[in-house]
């Protein structure tokens, strides 16, 4: 059968995966968004359903006033002894920790902190022992992939932290994962930075603590030399073996907006790439070491159909799964019903690294039409295309004394400009519409049954190449202003 990449679309970076019986489970980074660490399940590796989050309580993660792309970095999910573990980093507080659950559909524990620095932590279990790895600096000040043995009940180190591999020489060694296969320990990591030079590398050894011999043909997977190809930034992977014994890599990558337009704004997404072991025990990945937009494979039964959701509404999404807040929300400001959202504004705007009244859903593809009915008493409310506090486009209904206006506002770095506005006289209800393709967003409103184009804005100014950071565009509903009450109905997000 033929499957298409990405297998999870939109801002879901840094995937990690484990398998329990006939089901695969996957987690991703969430940074400043809450709840933290989205959790998915699948039976076939190509169709993924979100079933929860690992961090659902303020006691589990400190977000506070973290800036965009701060907070929760790359997680790892593992299953051992009937228990699931998720370990991650709060990069803002510089703390590695893990949580656990015996019920994958239930709540996770409060955090257990580990006294080892670095980021991108990994857990490996063997013979009743637990090993913790991260990329950082060991107890002697030596950098690289750092390893210690842990007491999983307390998080206490049972051995000193020791650097066991320094990688192949690429910049930003990260994302270490340990596996035991074919009589060897395999240590896989990423290098090159999570940008256009990203790559997956690995080494193997006879002991869990090394020494490790690098794969002679590293990097094993990268798209860094595929100029003009849509899929770029391939790296940060995790290996998994399927029901039939085949190996795969779930990894991140991103889609640039055009052959010669090296910008991406949807964020880093989840890709699936086949892995093949040779007789010498080394493995290769993908098509000649690259990831493709689609793979033809006999590893997945031909009767399995890859499902793609095209239409997102209030009615067919779950407020607790598909939607997210900025940092820790004041939940009393949200009344979320089956077909309506009522938001109470405050004086905290989208431009501040705090907790504005905002609830969002990730943009999952380039071509989309977003629409919503908004009713407002005063203040401002509408739809935002949100990359970070300094890069977002807003289409909103705004109260101006006794009148109302629809505004199109562009926020690009230090430039914050209301580009266009349309007066509504005394009407306090309006339809807002945003149409998007790869290169631009177009902003409309409907007044008296007539569509009015307010203006356009280029997608590139919401890209990681312009804004920086590690997130992607989130389609947000927001309210701003003390005492502002906004009612959102008829939400539609329809992809081509």
Task: Express each pLDDT in 217-264 by its tens digit.
Answer: 999 999 999 999 999 999 999 999 999 999 999 999 999 999 999 999
Query: Does residue 75 surpass a pLDDT of 80?
Result: yes
The residue written with tokens 């949580």 in the block is 99
Instruction: Find all residues with CB under 8 Å of 71, minimum gap 6, and list them.
Output: 30, 31, 32, 33, 36, 61, 63, 90, 91, 92, 327
Query: Does residue 426 surpass a pLDDT of 80?
Result: no
Query: Does residue 339 surpass a pLDDT of 90?
Result: yes
How many beta carbons lie within 10 A of that of residue 265, not counting itself?
30
pLDDT tens digits, 13-70: 999 999 999 999 999 999 999 999 999 999 999 999 999 999 999 999 999 989 999 9
Task: Report the percent of the chain where pLDDT is more than 90.
Answer: 96
What pLDDT shows up at residue 427?
86
Token pair belonging to 417: 């400009």
pLDDT tens digits, 170-200: 999 999 999 999 999 999 999 999 999 999 9
Give CATH 2.60.120.200 domain extents, the chain.
Answer: 311-495
Query: Does residue 449 surpass a pLDDT of 90?
Result: no
174-181, strands of its sheet edge to edge: 174-181, 184-191, 199-205, 213-214
Query: Does residue 400 surpass a pLDDT of 90?
Result: no
Residue 425 — very low, low, confident or very high, per pLDDT cuts 50/70/90? confident
Instruction: Find all residues with CB under 8 Å of 254, minimum gap 6, and list them.
Output: 231, 232, 233, 264, 266, 267, 268, 269, 464
CA 378 to chain centre: 34
Give the separation between CA 394 and CA 25, rounded to whole angstroms. Answer: 35
Residue 298 — very low, low, confident or very high, per pLDDT cuts 50/70/90? very high
Token pair belonging to 368: 């989309």
Residue 450 — very low, low, confident or very high, per pLDDT cuts 50/70/90? confident
How many beta carbons lie within 10 A of that of residue 417, not counting itself?
10
Which of 151, 161, 158, 220 has the alpha carbon at shortest distance from 189? 220
What pLDDT shows up at residue 300?
94
E runs forming strands in 306-402: 311-313, 325-326, 334-336, 340-344, 357-362, 368-376, 380-388, 391-400
What pLDDT shows up at residue 401?
82
Average pLDDT over residues 303-329: 97
Instruction: Name the class of domain 311-495.
Output: mainly beta
Q: How many H helices and E strands in the chain? A: 1, 39
Average pLDDT over residues 287-309: 96
Long-range CB contacts for residues 16-21, cutoff 8 Å, separation at least 24: 16/74, 16/75, 16/76, 16/77, 16/177, 16/238, 16/250, 17/77, 17/238, 17/240, 17/250, 18/77, 18/78, 18/79, 18/84, 18/240, 19/79, 19/240, 19/241, 19/242, 20/79, 20/84, 20/104
Q: With 0-12 CB in 10 A as exposed, 13-18 as middle and 19+ as buried, what is 315? A: exposed
pTM: 0.97
Catalytic residues: 14, 174
What pLDDT shows up at residue 447?
84
Give CATH 2.115.10.20 domain extents, the chain.
Answer: 2-296
Query: Does residue 487 surpass a pLDDT of 90?
Result: yes
Beta-bridged to residue 490, according to DSSP, are none
Long-range CB contacts for residues 281-285, cutoff 8 Å, separation at least 24: 281/182, 281/183, 281/184, 281/204, 282/204, 282/215, 282/216, 282/217, 283/202, 283/220, 283/247, 284/217, 284/220, 285/200, 285/220, 285/221, 285/249
What pLDDT shows up at residue 402?
83
How many beta carbons lie within 10 A of that of residue 79, not counting itself?
15
The correct answer on CATH 3.40.50.2020 for the domain covering 2-296 is: no
Residue 296 — very low, low, confident or very high, per pLDDT cuts 50/70/90? very high
The residue written with tokens 């009244």 in the block is 357
Average pLDDT over residues 83-92: 96
């Amino acid at each position: 059968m033929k499957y298409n990449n990405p297998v999870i679309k939109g801002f879901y970076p840094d995937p990690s995966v484990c398998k329990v019986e006939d089901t695969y489970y996957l987690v991703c980074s969430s940074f400043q968004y809450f709840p933290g660490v989205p959790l998915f399940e699948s039976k076939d590796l190509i169709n993924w359903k979100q079933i929860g989050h690992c961090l659902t309580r303020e006691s589990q993660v400190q977000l506070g006033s973290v800036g965009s792309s701060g907070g929760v970095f790359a997680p790892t999910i593992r299953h051992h002894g009937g228990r699931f573990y998720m370990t991650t980093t709060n990069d803002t507080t510089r703390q590695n920790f893990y949580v656990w659950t015996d019920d994958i559909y239930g709540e996770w524990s409060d955090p257990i902190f580990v006294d080892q620095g670095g980021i991108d932590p990994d857990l490996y279990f063997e013979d009743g022992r637990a090993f913790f790895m991260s990329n950082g600096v060991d107890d002697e000040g030596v950098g690289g992939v750092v390893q210690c043995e842990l007491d999983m009940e307390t998080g206490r180190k049972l051995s000193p932290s020791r650097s066991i591999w320094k990688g192949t020489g690429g910049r930003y060694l990260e994302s270490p994962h340990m596996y035991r296969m074919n009589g060897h320990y395999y240590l896989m990591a990423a290098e090159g930075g999570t940008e256009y030079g990203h790559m997956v590398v690995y080494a193997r050894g006879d002991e869990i603590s090394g020494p490790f011999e690098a794969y002679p043909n590293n990097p094993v997977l990268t798209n860094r030399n595929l100029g003009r190809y849509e899929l770029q930034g391939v790296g940060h992977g995790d290996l998994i073996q399927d029901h039939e014994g085949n190996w795969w890599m779930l990894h991140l990558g991103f889609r640039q907006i055009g052959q010669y337009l090296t910008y991406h704004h949807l964020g880093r997404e989840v890709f699936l790439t086949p892995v093949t072991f040779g007789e010498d025990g080394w493995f290769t990945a993908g098509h000649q070491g690259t990831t493709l937009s689609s793979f033809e494979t006999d590893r997945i039964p031909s009767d399995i159909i890859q499902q793609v959701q095209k239409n997102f509404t209030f009615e067919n999404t779950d407020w607790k799964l598909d939607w997210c807040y900025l940092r820790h929300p004041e939940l009393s400001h949200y009344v979320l019903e089956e077909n309506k959202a009522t938001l109470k504004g405050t004086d905290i705007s989208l431009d501040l690294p705090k907790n504005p009244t905002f609830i969002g859903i990730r943009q999952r593809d380039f071509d989309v039409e977003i629409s919503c009915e908004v009713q407002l008493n005063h203040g401002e409310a509408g739809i935002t295309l949100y990359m970070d506090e300094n890069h977002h486009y807003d289409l909103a209904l705004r109260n101006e004394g006794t009148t109302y206006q629809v505004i199109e506002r562009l926020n690009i770095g230090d430039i914050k400009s209301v580009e266009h506005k349309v007066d509504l006289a005394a009407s306090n209800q309006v339809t807002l519409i945003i149409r998007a393709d790869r290169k631009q967003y177009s902003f409309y409103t409907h007044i008296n049954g007539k569509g009015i184009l307010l203006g356009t804005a280029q997608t590139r100014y919401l890209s990681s190449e312009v804004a920086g950071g590690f997130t992607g565009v989130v389609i947000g509903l927001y309210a701003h202003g003390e005492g502002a009450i906004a009612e959102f109905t008829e939400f539609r997000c329809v992809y081509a």
